[in-house]
Every structure is written in structure tokens, then in C-alpha cells.
Amino acid sequence: MANIVLLDGGMGQELIARSANPPSPLWSANVMMNEPDIVEAVHAEYVKAGAKVLTLNTYSATPERLARDASEDLFEPLQAKAVEIIETASANSDVTLGGCLPPLFGSYHPEHAPDEGTCLETYRQIVALQAPHVDVFICETLGCLREVRAAVRACVETGVPVWCGMTAMDANGSLLRSGETVEEAAQSAKDLGAAAVAINCSWPEAVTQALPELAKTGLPFGGWANGFSNAGADLALGGTVDGMGKRNDLDPDNYANHVMKWVDNGATLVGGCCEVGPAHIQKIAEQLKAAGHTLVGNF
């Protein structure tokens, strides 16, 4: 039996489902500005469900996205608000707090990622604000090599451990959404000092396909998948999630079955992404414990 790091699930879709306001291009950050109590409640539900790691709700609060969709002046206030909320939600628990290093302009469009030097400059701004408050940095949904290299490098410079999550093609989990290989990206993350590698915000089947490529690094590895039916094709930069389809075959039981297969194949870092909520995390926690595994918040 193994020690398994159990992450939380998705925030953006969970927040939008509970919000009184329509989806906006700022996604989860918009809810945090206008309805912060919802963010705190979702964090707390993940803790209650059994998650051992909570991730800052800053996925859409990058300088680039804020400059495009609102105001770059919101960058520092939103980062600070996310820290305040997660610290309140986790105050009486022993969970690990994770920073968030997302794609800078938006999900699933690595062709719009800046050059590596520009990415590095922005990621350094993000980690400088988050590092004093988190136990680990979690890269999420990075879709190309230059994002991977820049994000991992910026985190490693702080001395805070980094787990590098990348997004793969749903139909071919051996490739990032850029077409570059998962194997090369994972090895680059390792070479730059990442402590773990993973595939996230891809179909569960893509995560399964990618696991052998991640395992080649010798690092702890795993994944946290999404429940979208059409993620890569239908989310435009600056758009909203109104048109995103949801798979009907990934209820908590079915999703947990995918996760248990990953664990059976050596994964020790698991959780959920978009459309994977507290009920899914609770089911994963139950199945992991029933199988004799120990849930932990770090390696």
C-alpha cells in the first residue's frame, strides 16, 4: 500500500454552478471578487471530503488575463484575496496549501503563450506573491514546453517545491496540446527541479495514456482530469464556459474508478479538475482508504 497525495477538485466550474451571476471571461476570479463566501465554502467542502491539498483560487488571475478581461490593477488584490480565503478555509485542518501556476492567457491555447523569457518574468511575479503563503507550487494545465520550463524555473528559484501539471491532447495523452511530447516536457520539468509531474485538465483516458511517459522521469507522478466533453475545441481565449459540454459518464463512482486505475499503475498524486467536485473527491478518498492506502498532503 502507498502514501497517496490527494488534491482537491476543480474550482472554476464548481463556483460558477453556485454563483448567482453568469459566467465571465474571468471565470473563478470573478466569483472571488463578487461572492468570496462561495470560494471559502468550496475550499472547506474539499477539506471535509478528504482532500489533503488545497489550491489557491488564482487560476484566472494572471496579469495577462486581467489586462485583457478586466484590469491588471486587480492582480495583487486578487492574489491576496485568494490567500486570505484559503487560509480561513483551512484554519483548523492539516492540509497542504498549494500555489497556482496556470497558463498565462488561457486554457488549451499554447499557441498564444508568450516566449519563454516573457513567461518567466510573469511567473516570477506570481510566485513572489504566493511563496510566503504556500507549502508547494502546483503548475496546472500547462500546454507547451516553454510554459513548463518557465513556470518550474520560477518556482524552483523560491525554494518552494513544485509539482508540474501539464495538459495533454484528449485523443492522445502522449502529446501536450502543443503537439510536443509529454515525455520531453516531463523530463524538462525534472531537469529544472520539479518534485513531481502530472497530467491535468485532460480526459481521464488521456491521463491513463500519459502515465508511462511520466513514470520515465523516476519522480512521483499522477493526474487530475476534467469532465468536459469538448474542452480543447470550444473554449476561446477571452470567452466563457457557457458552451462547454459535460460528460455524463464521470459521476463520482466512475471518476474514482479511473483514479484507482492510475494508483494501481503507480500514481501517487491524484485529484480532480473542471467538473470534478467535492463528491468526487470524497468517493476517491473512500476508495483509497478501503484499498489500504494512506492519504497525505506531501511527498
pLDDT tens profile 94-133 = 999 999 999 999 889 999 999 999 999 999 999 999 999 9
Task: Look up the CATH number of the domain holding residue 72.
Answer: 3.20.20.330
Half-sphere exposure in the Cβ direction for 219 (13 Å, CA): 25
Confidence at residue 235, expressed as pLDDT on a 0 to 100 scale: 56
End-to-end CA distance of the chain: 15
Q: Give the DSSP per-residue string, 82-135.
A: HHHHHHHHTTTS-PEEEEEE--SS-TT-GGG---HHHHHHHHHHHHHHHGGG-S
- Residue range(s) defining the domain that contains residue 41: 3-296
Half-sphere exposure in the Cβ direction for 199 (13 Å, CA): 33
Q: Cβ neighbours of residue 236 under 8 Å, at least 6 residues apart?
A: none
Q: 137 by DSSP, 3-state: which?
A: strand
Q: 97 by DSSP, 3-state: which?
A: strand
What is the domain count for the chain?
1
pTM: 0.94
Distance CA 165, CA 152 (A): 10
Residues β-bridged to residue 169: 172
Ranges of the chain whose pLDDT falls below 70: 24, 27, 231-244
Half-sphere exposure in the Cβ direction for 147 (13 Å, CA): 29
Gyration radius (Cα) of the chain, Å: 17
